[in-house]
Chain A
């Protein structure tokens, strides 16, 4: 399995901040840390090509365009999530991979933004459940 470094950051952060309020979070955290360090998982770094692309993408859209859909999240939360999504897409795409996600809509937008920037290249492949099942994150 291949995951991006920003995905690891997101996972560890989400679990670590629950340590003081959720009794099972410590075990959850240990399980994911073991998974990420196991030979079954390859963690793609946010390296130079990925960080250049992520910067370009964020400069184009500092927030995800919402279009017609309702998004109840506060603007600050949407911004943080969008920056992580940008980093994940940039890391996966520049390393030659696609993404599997429950948030297909935002990653399809990122796929289109990357294609606008680099039209001669193979686009980001986005796999995930149909739109109706998608949560906001």
Chain B
């Protein structure tokens, strides 16, 4: 269960729930571990607005925000894993043999400049 602050960090009162938001719906029941969180003021304000928009409870709004954040995080994590897999494959053949014979500087220059000629 989250512990929402009643005041900002500099002592100002946080707004109560928007009266125009009307009667709140009952938040859907969730399974999972109950816990206590210290919620930063800015996030509490956002959660309050979100709860008013949805007509739900602050706790439910916080969980929904966390679920959206979790979905973004999982997407970013998947992209990072794909990037790591692909970049490792590109660089896997990069072993440099210091004893290998190299081409002449003139030939290397011609080979590189051919990218502009095709």
Contact = CB atoms under 8 A, between A and B. Distances in A.
A49 B86 contact: yes
A110 interface: no
Contacts of A122: 82, 85-86
A53 interface: yes
Contact of A118 (B83, B84, B89): B89
A104 to B, nearest CB: 20
Contacts of B83: 94-96
Contacts of A134: none
Given A62-B118, A79-B118, A49 B90 contact: yes
A118 B86 contact: yes
Interface of A: 49, 52-53, 55, 58, 62, 79, 93-97, 118, 120-122
B90 A52 contact: yes
B27 interface: no
Contacts of A62: 118
A118 to B, nearest CB: 4
Contact of B86 (A55, A58, A79, A93): A93
A25 to B, nearest CB: 29
B79 A120 contact: no
Interface residues of B, number: 15
B79 to A, nearest CB: 4
Contacts of B78: 96
A58 B115 contact: yes
A58 B84 CA distance: 23
Nearest to B92: A118
Residue with the greatest number of chain A CB neighbours at <10 A, chosen from B82, B84, B118 = B82
Given A58-B115, A79-B118, A96 B89 contact: no
Contact of A96 (B86, B91, B115, B118): B86
Contacts of A58: 115
Given A58-B115, A79-B118, A96 B90 contact: no
Given A49-B91, A58-B115, A62-B118, A97 B79 contact: yes
B87 interface: yes
A93 B89 CA distance: 12
A42 to B, nearest CB: 11
A92 to B, nearest CB: 10
Nearest to B80: A96
B87 A94 contact: yes
Interface string B54-96: 0000000000000000000000001111111111011100000
